[in-house]
Amino acid sequence: MLLEKAGARLDLNSIINHGKYKDHTILEAVVDKAFNGNLRPFEMLLEKAGAQLDLNSIINHGRYKDHTILEAVVDDALNGNSKLFEIVVEKAWAKIDLNVINNGRYKGFTIFDIAVERVLNGDLKFFEILLEKTGDLLDINSKMKIYKLEAVVDRAIDRAFGGKSRLFEMILEKAGEQLDVNSIREKGPYKGYSILGAIAKSACIRSNSKLLELILNKIDISKIDLNARDKLGYSILWRAVYLARKESPKLLELILAKADISTLDFNARHLEGCSVLWKVAELVSRYPELLGTILEKARPSILDFNVKNQRSKISVIELIVNAASKQPELFPLLRKAIFCTSLYGIKLVDFLNNDALQTCFTSLEEIKQYLHSKVSFLDEIKACSAVQIAALKLLENKEKVEKLKSQLAHGREGAMEDGDVSSANYHFTNTVKPHFEMQFLSYSATEDREECLLKIECEIRALILEAILEEAQEQGNEEVKQFIEKNKEQLIEGETSTMGASCQVLKLATPAHSAWRCYNPFAKVGNPHFPNLLTAPTSNREIYTTQASDPTGNANHAEDASKIVRERVAYYYLAVMDKLDGNESDRKNRIANFIGLLAEIRNTHGQDDPSCFPGHLTRIANMGHYHAVAQMPDSRDNIIQDYFRERVLALFKEEIEKRSSLKEKKRLLKALTALTEETAIDIVKQPAKYPDNMLEIRQQVIASLGSLENVVESVNAILAEKGLASIKQSSQSDGESLDRIKDERLIVLRYILDIARGQTNAALGLCFDKLTDSAPSVEDIASLNPFDAIVEEPAHQLFAELFGLLLEHMPTCRQSLHQSKNLAMCLQGKIQPLLDPSEDKQALLEEFCHHIMQDVQDEREATAEIIASLREKGLLSKDTEMMKNPFDDNVQRFERLFSMNPSMRQHLENARKKQGLFNEFMSNAQVNVEKGLLPRSVLKELIEAMVIQMVSDKEEILNQEKFLAENKDNPLFEKVNLNYIVGLIANAGREPMSDVKQQPEEEEPSPEQDKGKQKMRM
* Torsion sign across C-alpha atoms 251, 257, 260, 264: positive
Residue 638: alpha-carbon gap to chain centroid: 31
| DSSP state letter for 186 | S
- DSSP lists the bridge partners of residue 315 as 308
CA–CA gap between residue 940 and residue 932 (Å, rounded): 14
Q: Which residues of 697-709 are buried (b: 16+ CB within 10 A; e: fewer)?
A: bbeebbeebeeee
CA–CA gap between residue 26 and residue 586 (Å, rounded): 90
Q: Above 80 in pLDDT, residue 674?
A: yes
What integer pLDDT is reported at residue 454 of this predicted model?
Answer: 95
Residue 191: alpha-carbon gap to chain centroid: 30
Q: What angle do CA 169, 171, 176 make, to 5 degrees?
A: 100
| pTM of the predicted protein model | 0.56
Q: Above 50 in pLDDT, residue 1?
A: no
Question: Out of 10-19, 472-481, 483-492, 690-699, which region has the weakest mean confidence (pLDDT)?
Answer: 10-19
CA–CA gap between residue 503 and residue 517 (Å, rounded): 8
* Torsion sign across C-alpha atoms 47, 48, 54, 60: negative
39 C-beta neighbours (distance < 10 Å), count: 17
The answer to whether the CB of 228 falls within 8 A of the CB of 235 is: yes
Which amino acid is residue 239, in one-letter code? R
What integer pLDDT is reported at residue 413 of this predicted model?
Answer: 39
Question: Out of 324-338, 568-582, 813-827, 894-908, which region has the weakest mean confidence (pLDDT)?
Answer: 894-908
CA–CA gap between residue 650 and residue 646 (Å, rounded): 6
| DSSP state letter for 796 | H
DSSP string, 8-65: GG--TTPBP-SSTTTT-BHHHHHHHHHHTT--HHHHHHHHHHGGG--TTSBP-SSTTT
Phi, psi (deg, nearest 5) at residue 342? -110, 150
What integer pLDDT is reported at residue 147 of this predicted model?
Answer: 42
CA–CA gap between residue 211 and residue 199 (Å, rounded): 7
CA–CA gap between residue 608 and residue 515 (Å, rounded): 10
What integer pLDDT is reported at residue 60 of this predicted model?
Answer: 74
Q: Which residues of 558-570 are buried (b: 16+ CB within 10 A; e: fewer)?
A: bebbbbbbbbbbb
Better pLDDT: 19 or 639: 639
The answer to whether the CB of 605 falls within 8 A of the CB of 530 is: yes
Computed over every residue of the chain, the mean pLDDT equals 78
CA–CA gap between residue 934 and residue 860 (Å, rounded): 10
- Residues 232-250 have a mean pLDDT of 87
What integer pLDDT is reported at residue 1000 of this predicted model?
Answer: 39
CA–CA gap between residue 108 and residue 100 (Å, rounded): 6
What integer pLDDT is reported at residue 989 of this predicted model?
Answer: 36
Q: What angle do CA 555, 561, 565 make, to 5 degrees?
A: 135
Q: Above 90 in pLDDT, residue 182?
A: no
Residues 6+ away with beta carbon under 8 Å from 454: none
What integer pLDDT is reported at residue 168 of this predicted model?
Answer: 74
Torsion of CA 429, 434, 439, 445, to 10 degrees: 90
The answer to whether the CB of 330 falls within 8 A of the CB of 320 is: yes
Residues 6+ away with beta carbon under 8 Å from 776: 784, 814, 816, 817, 820
- Residues 17-23 have a mean pLDDT of 71
CA–CA gap between residue 675 and residue 389 (Å, rounded): 12
Q: Above 70 in pLDDT, residue 488?
A: yes
Phi, psi (deg, nearest 5) at residue 17? -100, -15
CA–CA gap between residue 205 and residue 964 (Å, rounded): 76
Question: Out of 377-391, 476-490, 680-694, which region has the weakest mean confidence (pLDDT)?
Answer: 476-490
What integer pLDDT is reported at residue 343 of this predicted model?
Answer: 94
What integer pLDDT is reported at residue 517 of this predicted model?
Answer: 93
CA–CA gap between residue 766 and residue 763 (Å, rounded): 5
Kindly state the helix (H) or strand (E) to which residue 485 belongs, with its residue range. Answer: helix 478-493
* Distances, alpha carbon 383 to alpha carbons 345, 350, 370, 387, in Å: 17, 12, 11, 12
| DSSP state letter for 391 | H
Closest-CA residue to 394 (of 640, 675, 677): 677
| DSSP state letter for 76 | H
Better pLDDT: 849 or 474: 849
Q: Above 90 in pLDDT, residue 381?
A: yes
- Residues 859-879 have a mean pLDDT of 78
Q: How confident is the model at residue 1016 (pLDDT cuts 50, 70, 90)?
A: very low
- Residues 330-344 have a mean pLDDT of 94
The answer to whether the CB of 31 falls within 8 A of the CB of 59 is: yes
Which amino acid is residue 917, in one-letter code? L
DSSP string, 705-732: T--HHHHHHHHHHHHHHHT-PPPP---S
DSSP string, 600-637: HHHTTTSTT----HHHHHHHHHGGGTT-TTTSPP-HHH
Residues 6+ away with beta carbon under 8 Å from 802: 827, 831, 834, 866, 870, 875
Which amino acid is residue 942, in one-letter code? L
Closest-CA residue to 272 (of 240, 227, 242): 242
Q: How confident is the model at residue 495 (pLDDT cuts 50, 70, 90)?
A: very high
The answer to whether the CB of 886 falls within 8 A of the CB of 918 is: yes
DSSP string, 232-248: TS-BHHHHHHHHHHHT-
38-52, 162-176, 489-503, 845-859 — most confident range: 489-503
Burial of 356 (0-12, 13-18, 19+ CB in 10 A): middle
Q: What angle do CA 897, 899, 900 make, to 5 degrees?
A: 65
Q: Above 50 in pLDDT, residue 827?
A: yes
Q: Going from the N-terminus, what domains does the chain have, and what CATH number goes with each? A: 1-96 (no CATH), 97-177 (no CATH), 180-256 (1.25.40), 260-384 (no CATH), 418-633 (no CATH), 885-958 (no CATH)
